[in-house]
Structure 1
Amino acid sequence: MEAENRTGILEFILLGFSENPELKPLIFWLFLSMYLVTVLGNLLIILVIISDSHLHTPMYFFLSNLSLVDICFSTTTVPRVLLSIHTENKAISYMHCLTQVYFTMFFPILDTLLLTAMAYDRFVAICHPLHYTVIMNLRLCALLVFITWFIGVTTSLLHISLMMHLTLCRDLEIPHFFCELTQILRLACSDTFLNSTLIYVMTGVLGVSPFTGILFSYSRIALSIRKMTSSGGKQKAFSTCGSHLSVVSLFYGTSVGVYFTSAVTHSSQKVSVASVMYTVVTPMLNPFVYSLRNTDVKGALRRLFSQATSCLR
């Protein structure tokens, strides 16, 4: 296509996964099932935390926020995929695409920072148990969540503001199942140096730095657990930390998987499949990790179900 100014562009084309009509019903029901499990599972975690006074602690306050973010993250991409398959319409409006780009950056930033806040909470609880209630007070927890949302909003807005000044001059087909920032930059014929620089800087600041903080927290936690003489104390510490570590491993493992897949292959299908793990599967698995590995959540679930069955009788 001849180079031309595309600032007045109306829509993009999301190519999705496969043109094979036989696979579309399978993809539709697979995405619908994962989305329903994600929403119901995370809503259940939020309900359990709200209804059980034993879980009214900083750790579960952060977990309820994480569950809310996971619901919103999946909602950003999956319903659009389902609509596209059902209507066989791959077009997405320019503003809708920009909105999707914004939220697919915003919610992962929240995930990263909330996981870091949860790691700090575990560090204080295990390494400074006598001062835990003083340090992790309601004001600090609310402040950490506010800072998390503020950083997410401002960073995503900065990306979008730079992106809106780009001139798009190629075939406006996106080889993905959602509007992703780097895919949009490939459609630009204007200079994307500032956009790319911002991506690398923010990946370091909001990706590597929090992960380093998590590793530091757990290195100190490991030293404290080794010094514990009580086997019950060690088991309690491993229970709460194990759930969080599993979620951190899922989040960063799938993120790194998407990055390396896009770096080593030019196959849009492989990149899309890797992105499904990051955007859909991880939010779906988080409630299971916390409900199956965490004794406090399992106890709260049993109490909730027993109350529900007694009300039905």
Structure 2
Amino acid sequence: MRGANQSSVSEFFLLGLSRQPQQQQLLFMLFLSMYLATVLGNLLILLAISMDSRLHTPMYFFLSNLSFVDVCFSSTTVPKMLANHILGSETISFSGCLTQMYFLFELADMDNFLLAVMAYDRFVAVCHPLHYLTKMTPQLCALLVSGSWVIANLNALLHTLLMAQLSFCADNAIPHFFCDVTPLLKLSCSDTYLNEVMILTEGALIMITPFVCVLASYVHITCAVVRVPSTKGRWKAFSTCGSHLAVVFLFYDTIIAVYFNPLSSHSSEKDTAATVMYTVVTPMLNPFIYSLRNRDLKGALQKMISRKTYSY
């Protein structure tokens, strides 16, 4: 029974974003639309990059990986919420909750690492253009992505195992639409000190190190672009990097607001709004930001769509 005392918890209740039936209907349609836009937009980018040989470069290799991660990231939370609404159910099993949390950590870390790798790629392209192909070799690109996956998996496994050691013996209602670490820690009747310390130390290191790399890359890029004599050349360089910066600041602002504050300072309303931004809105915006500001990608998408149209 929800809210009842018991020796252990076998399932949780996801309370969602609203308890009002009319608001639930509206939120269902909104999240369904955003999820479909996320999947469609990112899959189009993946198809365009895979089908156009001109886009088989390090920059688009990283972008295709980011699109894949964004589809998976959104699929970790939104389908479960939509299914619960359709079925009239709010429950998620304890193991299902931990599994969802594991993939959230893993995919958030991958987003984080890929944004840093893409910043480094732009740094090499702008600051060392003559050595770009010799520096950004296929082997290095594959190593950067595979290394990111390994670190992301280890970090997610660490926090999931720490969460699995906690006891949940009181209220099992999560005021959220997925199993996020902050509301779970608030529900635990165990000592969560170690979990909080690991989030604020190891978790912060995992998140802040790539962010510092992004900032350092763009400081060097800005200095290099300012020295370009041509106004057109400066605008082209800033235009290429501007879309990446927009994604970076949207992602990091919400992540820092949710996780890197003491547990006592959190409120469910603010945390939910911030998590919606980085789990649903950012993956949806990435395809639009990258495609609308990228001439080569727009050309590949138009070519792919026209080819499909003529084939019918």
TM-score bracket for this pair, using the shorter chain length: over 0.9
Partner residue in 2 for 1:247: 247
Partner residue in 1 for 2:31: 31
CA RMSD of aligned residues (A): 2.0
Instruction: State whether residues 16 and 176 of structure 1, in contact with CA within 8 Å, keep that contact through their aligned partners in structure 2.
Output: yes
CA deviations 1:253-302 (Å, max 9, x no partner) are: 33244458997976533432332112101100100001111122112122
Q: Distance in 2 between matches of 1:172 and 1:85?
A: 19
Partner residue in 2 for 1:75: 75
Partner residue in 2 for 1:152: 152
Instruction: State whether residues 167 and 188 of structure 2, in contact with CA within 8 Å, keep that contact through their aligned partners in structure 1.
Output: yes
Residues 127-138 of structure 1: matches in 2 within 5 Å?
127-138=127-138
What secondary structure sits across from 1:16 in the alignment? coil
Q: Give 1:5 shift.
A: 4.0
Partner residue in 2 for 1:45: 45
Residues 183-198 of structure 1: matches in 2 within 5 Å?
183-198=183-198
Q: Distance in 1 between matches of 2:263 and 2:119?
A: 30
Moved more, 239-248 or 112-121: 239-248
Partner residue in 2 for 1:122: 122
Where do 5+ consecutive residues of structure 1 fail to align? Answer: none
CA deviations 1:86-109 (Å, max 9, x no partner) are: 122111111110111111111110
Where do 5+ consecutive residues of structure 2 fail to align? Answer: none
Residues 258-273 of structure 1: matches in 2 within 5 Å?
258=258, 267-273=267-273
Partner residue in 2 for 1:298: 298
What secondary structure sits across from 2:22 in the alignment? coil
Q: Give 1:204 shift.
A: 2.2
Whether 1:94 and 2:90 are equivalent positions in the alignment is no
Moved more, 243-252 or 129-138: 243-252
Q: Distance in 1 between matches of 2:156 and 2:37?
A: 28
TM-score, length basis structure 2: 0.93
Partner residue in 1 for 2:55: 55
Q: Give 1:303 shift.
A: 1.9
What secondary structure sits across from 1:92 in the alignment? strand
TM-score, length basis structure 1: 0.93
Say how many residue pairs are matched.
Answer: 310
What secondary structure sits across from 1:23 in the alignment? helix
Partner residue in 2 for 1:171: 171
Matching residue's letter, 1:121 = D
Structure 1 195/10 Cα, relative in aligned 2: closer, same or farther at 3 Å? same
Q: Distance in 2 between matches of 1:154 and 1:208?
A: 17
Residues 100-111 of structure 1: matches in 2 within 5 Å?
100-111=100-111
Q: Distance in 2 between matches of 1:47 and 1:104?
A: 25
CA deviations 1:184-222 (Å, max 9, x no partner) are: 112222222211111111332122111111110000011
